[in-house]
Structure 1
Amino acid sequence: METRVLRYFLVVAETNNITQAARQLHLTQPTLSRQIQELERTVGCPLFDRHHHQLHLNAAGVLFRQRVKVILDLLEHAQQELQTSSTGLSGTVNLGLVESAVAPWVLEQVAAFQDHHPAVKFQLFSGDGDSLRPRLDQGQDDLAALIEPVEAAKYHFLALPVREEWGILMRADDPLAQRAGLQPAEVATLPLVMGRRPIVRDALADTLQLSPAELNLKVVTNLPGAVPTLLKTGHYYHLGIRGVATQYHDPALAFVPLIPQTTSGHLLAWKKHRPLSPAATAFLQFITPLTING
């Protein structure tokens, strides 16, 4: 199975039209049709539902497209790792960043590292922990900055000198918004919105001396942008980190910290039993002394 044909498949999947896809790929329509049919014979099942001149991915096609994108990303990553440069270290570091206060700190280190190694490029992916960990697992990212804890059986990790304070984000006109802090027992009574990472939720509940079942969890989300809309209804409170609240820059919302103060650290994680590229290894070596001194 040639990567060229896999790229053809992605174009057809995007356009849903053989004629249009052939035009984009500078192929004849019969040639492209034969290539797609041969691909379907190779994988052993149809990938498209065909109706007149339109093609739409079926369930097998949707799954196959996901896998093809990962395969082609990994191939491109491998090619970048093998690049050499007359100026020294080169290649690309694929770096995941959780949406928190750790991102500005890590990006400062990226800029400093590139001052020393200008031929090294970075590809950044931002998201929550449950978006970033599959990318580590599949090899799409070399490293990812995550909120602790992480699964020690799966990842190596390095503690970063950035901590986040936990609290409750709510409407600014809520009576609780005038409080200096909220006790765990008060938090347990609130209808909560939280991120979806169970390991973080469980660790936070343990810190608050609450069982996860005691939290009145109404909405679990990996979409930080959806949180303000929910909060502004007045029916929900977001149990989260100050860094996310800061990112919203919304005067209609207020952040109230937990009492006693509750914080979480950040970790730079990478998959066990998978060697890092020279560029990623060099970045890790560059950042390690800063975490020790931080």
Structure 2
Amino acid sequence: MELRQLQYFVKVARKQHVTNAAEELHVAQSAISRQIHQLEEELGVPLFVRKGRNLQLTSVGKLFLERIEVVLADMERAVSEVREFLDPEAGEIRIGFPHSLGIYLLPTVVASFRQSHPNVKFRLRQGTYNSLIRDVMKGEIDLSFISPFPEKHLYVSGRLLLQEELYAILPQGHKLADNETIRLEQLREESFVMFSDEYSLRNIVLEACAKAGFVPRIGFEGEETDTIRGLVAAGVGVSLLPEMALTEISQLQPAKVRVIEPLVTRSVGLIQRTGDKLPLVAEMFQHFLFDHFQEN
């Protein structure tokens, strides 16, 4: 079993197509097909089945992919660690983040860190709560900002960085837009613009509304804070967003009002794979983040 076979297998599994995999890898389709065939012969089981023009993983193929992705990520990390041993200031940090932290927090801390470590590179991956935890578990990223912070998890661990308040956002012409504070119950009859199911902010809003004694009427759903903020500003509904997601000024700007009953917050933390030793450069960044949030 060769490393090249495993790399080809993972690429085809992700692309579900030999042609697309070959184009991305800059190799001939026949070379990929031959290596996949040899891998299946060595394992003694088919890893793919053809469905139309695409290839889909068999049940054994899915299991094999899950294991091999971890192995390849560990090999990539081993190579990075050797390079960082020679020069940690020229290393690469692989870090994940939810979209709501990519507007202000992530650019701020990366820029601050690079003032002292200008040659360090960052490989960034945006994702949902579950996808970020999965990527940390698989070793595809070293660290990840996460919200809410998982206090107890079998495979990831880390540290709580901050508690952030969520604000009600309303169209500028809304009757409550000029209030300094509101009770969430005052939005009972409104149409809400919400995140879709896989986003943790949706559950935070739903739980807050339940505490206020009502189930929100959902008029629109979105996947990015910019979309939700823009729809609210356009007058199609109301929502709740973290304060950091409201720092950017745009042409369509909603009114921001503090919610005092109940107080709505989210936890933000930093996680890594439990039991893992981070690459030196990632460990430097981790300590930088801990100091940064402790001071601020």
Unaligned runs of 5+ in 2: none
Partner of 1:60 in structure 2? 58
Partner of 1:92 in structure 2? 92
1-structure distance, mates of 2:99, 2:166: 14
2:93 aligns to what SS in structure 1? strand
Q: How does 1:216-227 map to 2 (within 5 A)?
A: 216=216, 218=218, 222-224=223-225, 226-227=227-228
| 1:183 shift after superposition | 0.5
2-structure distance, mates of 1:137, 1:23: 26
Look up the equivalent residue of 1:251 and give its one-letter code. Answer: L
| 1:115 shift after superposition | 4.2
| Of 264, 273, 276, the match for 1:274 | 276
- Percent identity, please: 21
| 1:106 shift after superposition | 4.5
| 1:284 shift after superposition | 1.9
Q: How does 1:7-156 map to 2 (within 5 A)?
A: 7-9=7-9, 14=15, 16=17, 21=22, 25-27=26-28, 29=30, 31-41=31-41, 42=43, 44-49=45-50, 55-60=53-58, 63=62, 67=66, 72-84=72-84, 86-100=86-100, 104-154=104-154, 155-156=156-157
2-structure distance, mates of 1:145, 1:244: 15
The answer (yes or no) to whether the contact 1:102–1:266 under 8 Å persists in 2 is no
| 1:4 shift after superposition | 0.9
1-structure distance, mates of 2:257, 2:99: 19
| Of 267, 279, 294, the match for 1:292 | 294
TM-score, length-scaled by structure 1? 0.73
2-structure distance, mates of 1:16, 1:203: 39
The C-alpha deviation readout for 1:219-266, integer Å capped at 9, x for no partner, is: 665444553575478554222223324447242533333135644453
Alignment pair present for 1:259 and 2:257: no
1:165 aligns to what SS in structure 2? strand
Provide the aligned length of Structure 1 versus Structure 2: 288
The C-alpha deviation readout for 1:112-134, integer Å capped at 9, x for no partner, is: 43444445322122344344222
TM-score, length-scaled by structure 2? 0.72
2-structure distance, mates of 1:153, 1:267: 13
Q: 1:58 to 1:202 in 2, by over 3 A?
A: closer
Partner of 2:181 in structure 1? 181
Q: CA RMSD, aligned part only? A: 4.2
The answer (yes or no) to whether the contact 1:136–1:144 under 8 Å persists in 2 is yes
Q: 1:238 to 1:130 in 2, by over 3 A?
A: farther
The answer (yes or no) to whether the contact 1:128–1:222 under 8 Å persists in 2 is no
The answer (yes or no) to whether the contact 1:169–1:245 under 8 Å persists in 2 is no
Alignment pair present for 1:192 and 2:192: yes
